[in-house]
Structure 1
Amino acid sequence: MNTLTPPSSSLVRTPEAVLKQVFGYSEFRDGQKTVIDAAINGQDSLVLLPTGGGKSVCYQIPALVLEGVTIVISPLISLMQDQVTQLQALGVKAAYINNSLAREEQQQVYQQLHQGLIKLLYVAPEKVLQREFLERLSHLKISLFAIDEAHCVSHWGHDFRPHYFRLSELKQRFAHVPMMALTATADKATRFDIVEQLKLQQPYIHTGSFDRPNIRYTIEEKFKPMVQLLRYLKEQKSQSGIIYCTSRKRVDDIAEKLADAGLNAAAYHAGMSNEQRQFVQTGFARDDIQIVVATVAFGMGINKPNVRFVLHYDIPKSIESYYQETGRAGRDGLAAEAIMYFDPADIGRVRRFFEDIDDEQRRRVEEQRFNAMASFAEAQTCRRQILLNYFSEYQREPCGNCDICLNPPKSFDGTLVAQQALSCVYRAEQRFGLGYIVELLRGANTSRIRDNNHHQLSTYGIGKDKSSEFWLSILRQLIHQGLLSQDITQGASLRLTEAARAILKSEYALQLAEPRLQAKHVYQDKLAQFNYDKKLFARLRALRKELADADDVPPYVVFNDKTLAEMAQLMPTNDSEFLKVSGVGFTKLNKYGGEFLTAIRNYLATN
Structure 2
Amino acid sequence: MDKIEVLKYYFGYGKLKKEQEEIIDQVLSDNDIIGLLPTGYGKSITFQIPALILDGITIVITPLIALMQDQVRNLNDKMIPAEFINSLLSKEEQENVYRKLKLGKIKILYVSAERLESKKFKEEIKNLEISMIVADEAHTLLWSEDFRIALGHIPKFIESLNKRPKMMALTATATKETVKKITELLNLNNPKIIIGDCDRKNIFYKIVKTKNKDKDLYLYINNHKNIHGIIYCLTIKNVMHVYEFLKEKGLNVGYYHGAMESSLKKDIQNKYTNHEIDIIVCTNAFGMGIDIKDIRYVIEYDIPSSIEDFSQQSGRCSRDGKYAESVILFNLNDIKTIEYFIDHIDNKEKSDKEIRRIKMDRYNKLDEMVKLCMGSGCIHKRVCSYFGVKHNGNCGMCSNCVKK
TMscore range, shorter length: over 0.9
- Matching of residue 165 in structure 1 with residue 152 in structure 2: yes
The one-letter amino acid of 2:154's match is L
Q: Which residue of 2 aligns with 1:351?
A: 339
The one-letter amino acid of 1:282's match is N
1:425-440 pair list within 5 angstroms: none
Stretches of structure 1 that go unaligned for 5 or more consecutive residues are 1-12, 408-519, 521-607
For 1:105 and 1:285, the matched residues in 2 are separated by: 27
On the 8 A contact 1:152/1:159 being kept in 2, the answer is: no
For 2:134 and 2:341, the matched residues in 1 are separated by: 35
For 1:232 and 1:241, the matched residues in 2 are separated by: 11
Find the partner of 1:283 among 256, 271, 292.
271
- Matching of residue 43 in structure 1 with residue 39 in structure 2: no
For 2:160 and 2:313, the matched residues in 1 are separated by: 35
Question: How far has the Cα of 1:160 moved from its partner?
Answer: 4.9
The one-letter amino acid of 2:202's match is N
For 1:212 and 1:30, the matched residues in 2 are separated by: 16
Q: Which residue of 1 aligns with 2:257?
A: 269
TM-score normalised by the chain length of structure 2: 0.93
After superposition, the Cα gap between the structure-2 partners of 1:206 and 1:399, relative to the gap in structure 1 and judged at 3 Å, is same
On the 8 A contact 1:152/1:164 being kept in 2, the answer is: no
Query: Structure 1 residue runs of 4+, over 4 Å off?
Result: 157-160
Q: Which residue of 2 aligns with 1:386?
A: 382
Q: Which residue of 2 aligns with 1:69?
A: 57
After superposition, the Cα gap between the structure-2 partners of 1:195 and 1:30, relative to the gap in structure 1 and judged at 3 Å, is same
1:79-478 pair list within 5 angstroms: 79-154=67-142, 160-174=147-161, 175-358=163-346, 359-407=355-403
Larger radius of gyration: 1
The one-letter amino acid of 1:166's match is H
Question: How far has the Cα of 1:127 moved from its partner?
Answer: 0.8
Question: How far has the Cα of 1:181 moved from its partner?
Answer: 0.8
Per-residue deviation, residues 442-470 of structure 1 (Å, max 9, x unmatched): xxxxxxxxxxxxxxxxxxxxxxxxxxxxx
Figure out how many residues of one structure are paired with residues of the other and give that number: 395
On the 8 A contact 2:345/2:359 being kept in 1, the answer is: yes
Q: Which residue of 2 aligns with 1:439?
A: none
For 1:399 and 1:129, the matched residues in 2 are separated by: 48
Root-mean-square deviation (CA, aligned residues, Å) is: 1.8
The one-letter amino acid of 1:361's match is R
Question: How far has the Cα of 1:165 moved from its partner?
Answer: 2.7
On the 8 A contact 1:44/1:204 being kept in 2, the answer is: yes
Per-residue deviation, residues 240-274 of structure 1 (Å, max 9, x unmatched): 11101122122112112222222110111233322
Greater RCO between the two (CA within 8 Å, min separation 6)? 2
For 2:99 and 2:213, the matched residues in 1 are separated by: 54
- Matching of residue 55 in structure 1 with residue 43 in structure 2: yes
Stretches of structure 2 that go unaligned for 5 or more consecutive residues are 347-354
Question: How far has the Cα of 1:301 moved from its partner?
Answer: 4.5
1:475-494 pair list within 5 angstroms: none
The one-letter amino acid of 1:150's match is A
On the 8 A contact 2:113/2:151 being kept in 1, the answer is: yes
SS of the equivalent of 1:406 reads coil
SS of the equivalent of 1:43 reads coil
